[in-house]
Structure 1
Amino acid sequence: MKKKLITAAALLLLVVPGLAACSKDTPAASDTNQGQAASAAAIKQEVTANLKGEPYTLDPAFASDSTSYWVIDHLYEGLYRYDQNGELVEGAAEKIEISPDGKTYTYHIRKGLKWSNGDALTAKDFEFAWKRVLDPKTAAYEPSALYYIEGAEEYNTGKGPLENVKIATPDDYTLVVGLKNPTSFFPKVAIGRPYLPVNPKVVQADKNWAAEAKSIVTNGAYKVSGWEHNNELTLTKNDQYWDKDAVTMETVHFKMVNDATTSYQMYKTGKLDLIDSLPTDVIEQEKGKEEYKTTADFGVYTYTFNTEAEPFNNAKIRRAFALAIDREAITQNITKGDQKAAYGYVAYGVTTPSGKDFRDEAAPYYSYDPAAAKKLLEEGMQEQGWSTLPAVTLKYSTGESHKKVAEALQEMFRKNLGVEIKLEHQEWKTYIDTYKQMNFQIARMGWTGAYLDPLAVLELYTSKSSSNFTKWENAKFDELIEQARVEQDQEKRTKLLHEAEDVLMAEMPIIPVYFYTQNYLNNKKIEGIRYSVTTEPDFRWAKKVAE
């Protein structure tokens, strides 16, 4: 899933001034310069951030969550990459040609590229990686991300042969990709994780190649130099990376501390340089300080219904639960950041041809309305022939904020619907498996768009999407999304996307709760971390300016 063409205006680029040394004597200019150079050289360029938990996987074919993505984005590089200003630029491809009809992309791979183990990296590695994701036997997380390619969907769903997939490598440095339809935003899609290369020799030799530091092989700015599972993951600059000289941060330590209070204390004592999960009771006191950073995310905190599991196989009951939630109370009293209550699914940040934000063009789809919620619940139960609502268990992943939101929902459903629900939480890696297996009635999840476009989040709920864990299918919704994929007139395309959101919010297979805003504490000694609305913080160009 997930990413966009990020403009410089969409970024929060941190610049923290260095500390100046003081002395009674004023040395000569040459002495001063030499001293500063020596001082800078003496500063160990390393940063320690909190990953919060063990990544689900570091194999791009199976990654599905922001924890894994944060690490993967530092380890691999695809045909495209984001530069220091957040612009989408060439990555492993040094030249890209697009046919006049917009359906054929020819990528010229940089010569001399290498994997972290020294193996040569060629166009054939991309072909191998993409076809591996599409192979039904692989059971990759998001093969649908490659359905833009002609023959890809048919092969992945067993309706066509591999030979019909329009991915070809006429030589080691040329990759030719044929699309089903002209797709102007294909570069935004192709920067996604399913499009990242993997080393064929390594993958074929060991099915667990991405599970340990000694066996994982990467092609990006960093490589894995240490991995103490459930405790710490260490990345060091990849000396085989073609643009290694531009990478200023030598070492990245990812700690795995899930408790927000503990990680906050570690930050305050200098054991962490960056945290992105603050205890709710300290947010107010940290706001306004130099080290407190806030970025909007193009994403939404949601709860997902299993629409085939009772009682949420009824749309009125799903909508009743949505109307019973006081979102303003959650954002004001629990999250306490700058999150906005979500009364639709597509987050703020997309400007349409009208000049307005996509979100502002649509009226709220629902409101906090306990009376209407109660009425809908009664109607839904009557339709199902139930005198008593089946027992409900709400599942969420471990974490202070998730726990507080879940407890708030539990109380709101009790108060506003007269429904007692059970809460169940799991650690992240276990929870991801539970969620993917759709072993829930209602479960917490959040989605961030792969790129800054309504399609990036709406397409997650088509019947073909690998990311649709609701079991909800709607032919009209699918049709609208398919039309939006190929519509070249931006006004018509925007209208189609609004209509698709109308269908999604009427059926309510998910409950949007609030639009993400990420709060960080960033050690003022670390400058140049690149923040984005669609990715986790990027350390490649960060620099420690003082010890």
Structure 2
Amino acid sequence: MKKKFLIFLSLILVLSVVITGCVPKSDDANPGDKDKPADEGKDTPKGEKILRTNNASEPGSLDPALATGTHESYALDHTFEGLMKLNPDLELVPAMAKEEPEVSDDKLTYTFKLRDDIKWSNGDPVTAGDFEFAWKRALDPKTAADYAHQLYYIKGGEEYNTGKGKIEDVMVKAEDDKTLVVTLDAPTPYFLELTAFYTLYPVNQKVVEANADWAKNADTHVSNGPFTLKEWTHSASIKLRKNDNYYDKDKIKLDGIDFDIISDENTAWQKYEGGDYDFLLPLPQAVVAQMQAEKNPELVIGTEVGTYYYSLNSQFELKDGIKPFANEKIRKAMTMTLDRKTIVEKIAQGGQIVAEGVVPFGLKDENGKEYRDKVGKLVEYNVDEGKKLFQEGLKETGLTAEDFKKVVLVYNTSEAHKKIAQAAQEMWRVNLGVEIQLENAEFQVKLDRERSGDYMVSRSGWIGDYTDPITFLELWYSSSPFNYPKYNNPEYDKLIDTIKSSPDAAVRFDSLRKAEKMIMEDMPVVPVYFYTLPYAQKPYVTGVFKPLVNYPRLTYADINK
């Protein structure tokens, strides 16, 4: 108890300066500009409904094949559309497809019929050939798509992507302009849901083949969703406008969506309070706490299927060729001495749930019940055991606590990530006697460093791509592009292979549970909490809906001032 009190006291001292003044008063939101109307100086034509918000990071790409995170999908999910989509009732419904696909008795072949009234933003018809081209392009090794593995379910997909097969053997075929036939390697219960995921969005074959840089700027960008990319001022703003060629345009109430690109959460919050934004996420943690305390009706705690964790680079050499995070005892010690409850209740303060593993709550098992119920709690807070393991790990590696002063935890620029990193730093200092360093980096830079292995410890997070536990567990498959810790366990790989290939639900979920227990025994990552997604929404904004595995959708939003 004494040690926990010391940690809490230290956290208060570390964070007090950061938290103080984090929540600006309404009168201070725009100093020196208090009497200026919120819309004065805007370039929005009178009468247009433009929803104003923020995208916290500059997208690395607005090409569906190259996108890798929410900083890109936020715009892509409003400018593109797949064969299926989620509607405001969170039902998976036909989108570019005019009806549910015909599925063969063996659950391997899907035949999609496309709508007759679908066009690209440049007026070209959207064809089945565009889907075939887009999916094979994402699988093409030359494209270097990190998410190519989401198409491995297609027969011949993995072989082509890994250089062991030909493009002709990838079993996705446009039989005519309106008919797309897809054959899978094995029955995949979530395949239909995957067709609503951005990697499987179509691209205009004519446009892409004519200009390799088509997705880098607004004047060459072509899409098929409810909005189009009107303007992209890199690292500053993104402006979307209603797509007049969209088949469902009569249901789109907004004339457009304007995204700023501001990484500082406090600055973005000040703009929301000052009337510059109609909708905002993410929110500063102190703001969420205050809004909750005040029962502010503009706060929405969105449900989310996601996990916040730290990746430990097993290939990082600290000194003399010694890799500290290749040692299982050191990895476990880092996990066991992190007080998640304090982080969730005193720092994050957004209704997050203390992580019990790497797969969050909200996913169903083979019987339609909560997946986590049969897995149980796989992470514990046990300082004494953690300290013991750490000392054993130091002895086995020949390292000292002093050596850990060279260890750096990198997090992407965000006040929330900073405060949680400071808390973790302090907990490890008090509990393990190590003084690691902190470094912030722009989000895309952090991702690039994780991919290249140029990090020691990194702030990571994963929002499910679809509602099956494999969307989390496949991250640490040895050849996964998102296996940032460089975890390599052949037995784990075998379990993942079984999960992806077995048609038997009982076998699949038994393997899923075994895989999660294995990853939590080896501990290549340090789970922190299961996400929620707090966001702020002005009372005059309606029609926003929040899918379980996506950012809120603004597609059918309306502004009624």
Equivalences for 1:55-134 in 2 at 5 Å?
55-95=59-99, 96-134=101-139
- Structure 1: 5+ residue stretches without partners: 1-41
Q: CA deviation at 1:193?
A: 1.7
Amino acid in structure 2 at the alignment position of 1:91: A
The worse-fitting range, judged by mean Cα deviation, of 375-384 and 97-106 is 375-384
Q: CA deviation at 1:90?
A: 1.0
Pairing partner for 1:395 from 399, 406, 410: 410
CA distance in 2, matches of 1:410, 1:302: 14
Equivalences for 1:8-407 in 2 at 5 Å?
44-95=48-99, 96-287=101-292, 288-309=295-316, 310-353=323-366, 356-387=369-400, 389=403, 391-407=406-422
Q: State whether residues 141 and 162 of structure 2, in contact with CA within 8 Å, keep that contact through their aligned partners in structure 1.
A: yes
Amino acid in structure 2 at the alignment position of 1:338: G
CA distance in 1, matches of 2:174, 2:412: 43
Q: State whether residues 44 and 544 of structure 1, in contact with CA within 8 Å, keep that contact through their aligned partners in structure 2.
A: no
Pairing partner for 2:474 from 442, 459, 464: 459
Q: State whether residues 291 and 522 of structure 1, in contact with CA within 8 Å, keep that contact through their aligned partners in structure 2.
A: yes
SS in 2 for 1:531: coil
Q: State whether residues 43 and 545 of structure 1, in contact with CA within 8 Å, keep that contact through their aligned partners in structure 2.
A: no
- Structure 2: 5+ residue stretches without partners: 1-45, 317-322
Q: State whether residues 43 and 544 of structure 1, in contact with CA within 8 Å, keep that contact through their aligned partners in structure 2.
A: no
Task: Report sequence identity in percent.
Answer: 40
CA distance in 2, matches of 1:70, 1:355: 30
CA distance in 1, matches of 2:89, 2:222: 27
CA distance in 2, matches of 1:394, 1:544: 42
Equivalences for 1:475-494 in 2 at 5 Å?
475-494=490-509
SS in 1 for 2:325: coil
Q: TM-score, normalised to structure 2's length?
A: 0.87
Which residue does 2:557 correspond to in 1? 542
What is the CA RMSD across the aligned residues, in angstroms? 1.7
SS in 2 for 1:224: strand
Pairing partner for 1:521 from 510, 514, 536: 536
Q: State whether residues 133 and 143 of structure 1, in contact with CA within 8 Å, keep that contact through their aligned partners in structure 2.
A: yes
Q: CA deviation at 1:267?
A: 1.1
Amino acid in structure 2 at the alignment position of 1:534: V
CA distance in 1, matches of 2:454, 2:487: 15
Pairing partner for 1:418 from 430, 433, 443: 433
CA distance in 2, matches of 1:414, 1:284: 27
CA distance in 2, matches of 1:312, 1:155: 34
Q: CA deviation at 1:320?
A: 1.0
CA distance in 1, matches of 2:190, 2:471: 11
Q: CA deviation at 1:256?
A: 1.6
Q: CA deviation at 1:491?
A: 3.5
* CA-to-aligned-CA distance 1:270-310 (integer Å, 9 cap, x gap): 10111122223232331222111111210011111212222
CA distance in 1, matches of 2:189, 2:267: 46
Q: CA deviation at 1:206?
A: 2.4
Amino acid in structure 2 at the alignment position of 1:357: E
CA distance in 2, matches of 1:205, 1:353: 47
Q: CA deviation at 1:324?
A: 1.4
CA distance in 1, matches of 2:534, 2:379: 27
* CA-to-aligned-CA distance 1:101-133 (integer Å, 9 cap, x gap): 111111112224221111222111111111111
Which residue does 2:445 correspond to in 1? 430
CA distance in 2, matches of 1:174, 1:482: 31
Q: CA deviation at 1:251?
A: 0.8
CA distance in 1, matches of 2:548, 2:367: 22
CA distance in 2, matches of 1:502, 1:55: 35
SS in 1 for 2:421: helix
Q: State whether residues 307 and 358 of structure 2, in contact with CA within 8 Å, keep that contact through their aligned partners in structure 1.
A: yes
CA distance in 1, matches of 2:172, 2:364: 33
Judged with a 3 Å threshold, the aligned counterparts in structure 2 of structure 1 residues 270 and 178 are, in CA distance, closer, same or farther, namely same
CA distance in 2, matches of 1:475, 1:443: 24
SS in 2 for 1:94: coil
CA distance in 2, matches of 1:512, 1:468: 15
The worse-fitting range, judged by mean Cα deviation, of 141-150 and 433-442 is 433-442
CA distance in 1, matches of 2:138, 2:504: 32
1:506 partnered with 2:521: yes
Judged with a 3 Å threshold, the aligned counterparts in structure 2 of structure 1 residues 256 and 387 are, in CA distance, closer, same or farther, namely closer
Amino acid in structure 1 at the alignment position of 2:121: S
CA distance in 2, matches of 1:355, 1:216: 42
* CA-to-aligned-CA distance 1:486-521 (integer Å, 9 cap, x gap): 334434432221111011111111111011011111
Amino acid in structure 1 at the alignment position of 2:390: L
SS in 1 for 2:120: coil
Q: State whether residues 272 and 279 of structure 2, in contact with CA within 8 Å, keep that contact through their aligned partners in structure 1.
A: yes
The worse-fitting range, judged by mean Cα deviation, of 204-213 and 76-85 is 204-213
Amino acid in structure 2 at the alignment position of 1:45: K
Q: State whether residues 144 and 464 of structure 1, in contact with CA within 8 Å, keep that contact through their aligned partners in structure 2.
A: no
CA distance in 1, matches of 2:109, 2:253: 36
Q: CA deviation at 1:171?
A: 1.5
